[in-house]
């Protein structure tokens, strides 16, 4: 059974940031970066622009993650751990929750492909493979985070679900059902989306996802029309970026009027839109993007 997405629909739009580092970053430097993340400052920015929810990346290809995880450390055996000492997600929740801002997280569906040791230990094969051993380990990693955070995290966005027939469409686990169950281990009402890649129109990849991942490349300024609130039973949702690329650019790439129009039209049909913006090493959103988000708030009301 899908989770209730009413709060998500009522939110209408929110903010996403990629907080990442390179594979050559040392463990010490990564911990310094995560420790320097200004959660209170970001929370104030999100409140100022009227964002009702916020996504942050747990990690991506480098093998560095912004929260500790024993299941991950046990599986990969890397010492010292490339998972940060600070639980940035828990600290973000502590800053966002009093302001009424929900927190959601991003995680790739595959192993960090710039970390050779992690790839080998997790037994990940990129491409259309069953990846039985990998998926079992990955679900254990996800479930540990989910149980620790519980209701502090309201949703998950899983990237790179590019081979659904080869990896997840099976009656026996690991499959889409067990994948979603791991993410909901600590919060059964947590929302889950599986990203099949950039597709227009936006589709729902599985009956076990609560909302569509909806990745859209905004560089051409062409955005999908929302056909209505539901797509194959899932809440319609689009994720795109305001800059020149994901977490990139010095200025917004499109005028305020276009971003307002796209968001307003999706909302009018029951859809939800999330906008990715760059974020500094200190965890703060650059001023030009704050101005565009402010314009969005003023146009749509909050």
- Strands 237-241 and 234-235, sheet pairing: unpaired
pTM of the predicted protein model: 0.98
Strand partners, 117: none
The structure tokens listed for 262 are: 């796209």
DSSP string for 168-219: T--SSSSSHHHHHHHHTSS-TT-EEEE---S-SS-----TT-SB---B---T
Q: Is the pLDDT of residue 297 over 80?
A: yes
Contact criterion met (CB below 8 Å) for 68 and 85: yes
Which structural domains are found in the chain, ordered by start?
6-300 (3.20.20.80)
Q: Do 139 and 182 form a contact (C-beta atoms < 8 A)?
A: yes
**pLDDT recorded at residue 1:** 78
Residues 47 and 89: their CA atoms lie apart, in Å, by 17
184 forms bridges with which residues in the sheet? Answer: none
**What are the φ and ψ backbone dihedral angles of 62, each rounded to 5 degrees?**
-75, -20
Structure tokens given for 269: 């049909």
Q: Residue 235 above 80 pLDDT?
A: yes
At residue 302 the predicted structure's pLDDT band, cuts being 50, 70 and 90, is: confident
| Residue length of the chain | 302
Quick one: pLDDT at residue 177? 98
- Pair 124, 141: CB distance under 8 Å: no
Rounded average pLDDT over 90-95? 98
Instruction: Reduce the DSSP state of residue 121 to 3 states and report it.
Output: helix
The average pLDDT across 282-290 equals: 98
> How confident is the model over 181-223, as pLDDT tens digits?
999 999 999 999 999 999 999 999 999 999 999 999 999 999 9
Taken in order 266, 46, 5, 108, the sign of the CA dihedral is: positive
Q: Is 15 helix (H, G, I), strand (E, B) or coil?
A: strand
Per-residue pLDDT reduced to its tens digit, 52-68 = 999 999 999 999 999 99
Place of tokens 């970001």: 42
């Amino acid at each position: 059974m899908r989770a209730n997405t009413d709060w998500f629909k009522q939110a209408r739009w929110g903010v996403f940031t990629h907080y990442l580092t390179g594979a050559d970053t040392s463990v010490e430097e990564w911990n310094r970066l995560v420790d320097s993340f200004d959660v209170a400052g970001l929370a104030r920015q999100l409140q100022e622009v009227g964002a009702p929810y916020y996504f942050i990346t747990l990690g991506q290809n480098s093998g560095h993650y912004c929260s500790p995880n024993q299941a991950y450390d046990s599986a990969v055996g890397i010492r010292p751990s490339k998972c940060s000492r600070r639980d940035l997600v828990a600290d973000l929740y502590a800053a966002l929750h009093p302001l009424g801002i929900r927190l959601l997280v991003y995680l790739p569906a595959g192993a960090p492909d710039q970390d050779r040791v992690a790839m080998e230990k997790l037994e990940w094969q990129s491409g259309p493979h069953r990846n039985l051993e990998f998926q079992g380990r990955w679900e254990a990693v996800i479930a540990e985070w989910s149980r620790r955070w519980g209701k502090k995290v309201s949703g998950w966005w899983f990237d790179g679900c590019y081979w659904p027939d080869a990896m997840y469409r099976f009656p026996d686990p690991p499959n889409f059902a067990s994948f979603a169950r791991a993410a909901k281990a600590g919060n059964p009402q947590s929302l889950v989306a599986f990203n099949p890649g950039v597709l227009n129109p936006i589709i729902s990849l599985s009956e076990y996802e609560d909302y569509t991942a909806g990745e859209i490349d905004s560089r051409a300024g062409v955005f999908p029309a929302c056909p209505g609130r539901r797509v194959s039973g899932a809440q319609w949702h689009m994720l795109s970026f305001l800059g020149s690329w994901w977490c990139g650019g010095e200025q917004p790439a499109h005028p305020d009027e276009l971003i307002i129009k796209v968001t307003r039209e999706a909302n009018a049909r029951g859809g939800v839109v999330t906008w990715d913006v760059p974020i500094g090493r200190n965890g703060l959103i650059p001023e030009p993007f704050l101005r565009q988000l402010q314009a969005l708030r003023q146009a749509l009301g909050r």
